[in-house]
Amino acid sequence: MRWQRGLWLFLVPSFGLMTLVLLWPLGYAAYLSTFDYYLGSREMHFVGLANYAELLGEARLWHSLWTTIVIALGSVAAEFALGFVLALALYRLTFSARVFMIFLFLPHIITPVVATLFLKWILTSNWGLLDATFLTFNLNPPDWLGDPIWAKICVILADAWIFTPFVMLVLYAALQTLDQAQIEAASIDGADGWRIVRHIILPSLVPVIVFTVSVRLMDVFRFFDTIYVLTGGGPGTATETITMYTYQLGFQLLQVGKASALGIITLIIVAAIIATFSRVLQRGYGRS
Amino acid sequence: MKTRRMARVRNQTLLFIGLAVFTFINLVPLIWAALTSVKNPADAFTVPPTIFFQPTFQYHREVWLDRGFVHYLINSLIVSAGTVLISVPVGSLAAYGLSRMPQRRASPILFGLFTIRMFPHMLLAIPFFVMGSFLNMIDTYPLLILALVAINQPFTIWLMYSFFLDIPRDLDEAAAIDGCNLWQTFRIVILPLARPGLTVAALFSLLLSYNEFLFALVLTGIQTKTLPVAIASFGGEDVSDWSISAAGAIGIMLPIVVIMLFVQRHLVRGLTIGAVKG
């Protein structure tokens, strides 16, 4: 049809804006990554790929990558275990599910910085609610945010507190689309609840689960607010993810060139995740 | 038959109690902050923690009036309103265009948008800051608004796309036969029908820009600091400021709870497409 030709014009403002504000800065970051450049200094030295070489030879980068992976796997596992149980419980509940949904959803929808502060006031040593409770019973609590291992666990739990509601909601929505007749038939045939979950419900949720896992994995490479507020990457570099390290490089050490190089490396990793899951993602996003 | 019904009632009751207990424990951090915000200093730091006490709203008043949070709230409102007013119209145009294209053309573009949504924001924050410094635009509203509009585009387009798809194409064709050009079709026929979608997109964009932290942290200064940046720099270490920080945090949260009640029905659609977290 002829009149559809002009449709392209409708895309111009939005894509023009994205080119200007997303793609151009992206190109500029790639350009900066080839310079030895400190923010505020007048001199820029072209160094080619030296920033990349330096980063890849650095223990701190690999450490931050490892931390990112640990936090990603820990929190995604926790979110799915808990999110699935909650979704199933809400699905089975024949009344008031909607009210629960609102309350369960609160941690996800409030400002991440605020949500993290709420958790921090629980975890802070001595005066936090957790320590105050421990001390009431004369128990000696660990230093939640000051111990490298506990700090990692706290970051994972914080991420889980904020993102479990999201996973719960997606799984709950998927459960609503299940074939009721099949479940009823199975239960008439004498299958108990667990077998129905194991053999009917879980298999039909696999596409949604894979889709959500891959989205959450990519999210972890953007995960910043919570770590910044809760631990600042500490103690030492115990909770320093690759994003946090980029922030330190760029905005604390002001090594803009090197930070840009690290940003580009992150982009490559995320692109690799997208490429790996692209089939699933393309099918998954069509569903919503 | 009767025992089966009783078993059902029992199961439902157990399920309800289990969920109620979990929900309560899950919200303890929030409840604790709310209690802290209305506690007098004498009640705030005691072992064991106090649960019953005489509440005071002194800190809520102090944080907004004496500690400048009103100013940060105004900044947050300017930035959020600016973002919504640009992002939703621009995104709706693109979404309409895409929804009326053949699927095989729209699909790769939509997937491209999904990929853009997955960009690590830190990678953009660095060049934004450097370019903003060159242009002398750090600590101005337009810079932050522009950044938020851009990262918000994929989500807005996606959401509006799903609403436009629900409007039958027959209407477009009827309008074309009646002599409307593309713009008139969009403006007069389709857009009014998509009004619920526009509301949802506006509310989600509002949430996203109100909650956003990284770009606000990097691109704002004393003049344009938004609420999340203010509370993050405020609410940390000094234990004596806890009550005030808690009051600030609770205050920041309240408008979101109100918005949440409005978008509740659309949560699934909004979140499975985009995610409120930026």
Measured between CB atoms, which of B91, B111, B130 is closest to A256? B130
**Which range has the worst mean pLDDT, A184-193, B15-24, B104-113, B178-187?**
A184-193
Closest CA relative to residue A285, chosen from B205, B202, B112? B112
Instruction: Mutate one of B8, B31, B98, B272 to test the A interface: name it (highest A CB count within 10 A).
Output: B272
Instruction: Return the number of CB contacts < 8 Å for A and B.
Output: 275
Interchain proximity B151–A22, CB inside 8 Å? yes
Closest CA relative to residue A108, chosen from A131, A145, A82, A88? A82
Provide the pLDDT for residue B237.
57
For residue B160 the two structure tokens come to 């509006």
Q: What ipTM was reported for this prediction?
A: 0.89
Closest CA relative to residue A152, chosen from A218, A77, A227? A227
pLDDT single digits (tens) B54-75: 788 888 888 888 888 999 999 9
Domains and CATH numbers, chain A: 50-287 (1.10.3720.10)
| Residue A147 C-beta-side C-alpha neighbours within 13 Å | 10
The amino acid present at B233, given as its one-letter code, is: S
Q: How many residues does chain A have?
A: 288
Q: Are A250 and B125 a contacting pair, CB within 8 Å?
A: yes
The amino acid present at A90, given as its one-letter code, is: L
Query: pLDDT at residue A279 above 80?
Result: no
Percent of chain B at pLDDT exceeding 90: 46
Which residues in chain B are contacts of A25 at CB distance < 8 A?
A: 124, 127-128, 131
Please give the Cα distance from B240 to B44 (Å, whole number). 10
For residue A226 the two structure tokens come to 């919570």
Instruction: Mutate one of B23, B85, B118 to test the A interface: name it (highest A CB count within 10 A).
Output: B118
Please, what is the Cα angle at B114 between B108 and B116, to 5 degrees? 105
Average pLDDT of span B169-196: 90
Query: pLDDT at residue B28 above 90?
Result: yes
Closest CA relative to residue A256, chosen from B109, B130, B199, B52? B130
Which residues in chain B are contacts of A218 at CB distance < 8 A?
A: 118
Closest CA relative to residue B80, chosen from B264, B262, B212, B201? B212
Q: How many Cβ atoms from other residues are within 10 Å of residue B82's Cβ?
A: 18
Q: Are A21 and B147 a contacting pair, CB within 8 Å?
A: yes
Handedness of CA B269, B271, B272, B275 (dihedral sign): positive
Measured between CB atoms, which of A29, A96, A135 is closest to B127? A29
Provide the pLDDT for residue A28.
94
Of A269-278, B147-156, B256-265, highest mean pLDDT: B147-156
SS (H, E, C) chain A: CHHHCCHHHHHHHHHHHHHHHHHHHHHHHHHHCCEEEECCCCCEEECCCHHHHHHHCCHHHHHHHHHHHHHHHHHHHHHHHHHHHHHHHHHHCCCCHHHHHHHHHHHHHCCHHHHHHHHHHHHCCCCCHHHHHHHHCCCCCCCCCCCHHHHHHHHHHHHHHHHHHHHHHHHHHHHHCCCHHHHHHHHHCCCCHHHHHHHHHHHHHHHHHHHHHHHHHHHHCCCCHHHHHHCCCCCCCCCCCHHHHHHHHHHHCCEHHHHHHHHHHHHHHHHHHHHHHHHHHHHHHHHC
Interchain proximity A215–B275, CB inside 8 Å? yes
Please give the Cα distance from A274 to A268 (Å, whole number). 10
pLDDT single digits (tens) A64-95: 999 999 999 999 999 999 999 999 999 988 88
Q: Are B228 and B213 a contacting pair, CB within 8 Å?
A: yes
Which residues in chain B are contacts of A108 at CB distance < 8 A?
A: 276-277
Measured between CB atoms, which of B47, B123, B245 is closest to A132? B47
Between the CA of residue A92 and those of A5, A78, A174, A195, B11, what are the distances in Å?
A: 50, 21, 14, 15, 10
Query: pLDDT at residue B143 above 90?
Result: yes
pLDDT single digits (tens) A166-205: 999 888 888 888 878 888 888 788 777 788 888 888 888 8
Interchain proximity B101–A86, CB inside 8 Å? no
